[in-house]
């Protein structure tokens, strides 16, 4: 319980949440870009 309290009430805990959120969003963006590039490449290879 102390760990969760530290996570949401201290500056380093809140910064950890921010960093984790930025990484998750970045992975989502990278996945979307790569998926669209792969679909574009497959479409052009099929022509």
pLDDT per residue as tens digits for the range 20-38: 999 999 999 999 999 999 9
Residues whose CB falls within 8 Å of the CB of residue 14, separated by 6 or more in sequence, listed in order: 7, 8
CA 14/CA 20 separation, integer angstroms: 10
Q: 46 or 45: which carries more pLDDT confidence? A: 45
- Region 4-9: mean pLDDT is 94
Does position 4 have pLDDT exceeding 90, yes or no? yes
- Region 39-45: mean pLDDT is 89
Q: What is the pLDDT of residue 45?
A: 85
Does position 47 have pLDDT exceeding 90, yes or no? no
Q: pTM of the entire structure?
A: 0.77
């Amino acid at each position: 319980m102390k760990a969760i309290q530290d996570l949401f009430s201290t500056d380093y805990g809140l910064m950890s949440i921010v960093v984790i959120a930025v990484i998750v969003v970045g992975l989502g963006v990278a996945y979307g870009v790569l998926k669209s590039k792969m679909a574009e490449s497959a479409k052009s290879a099929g022509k």
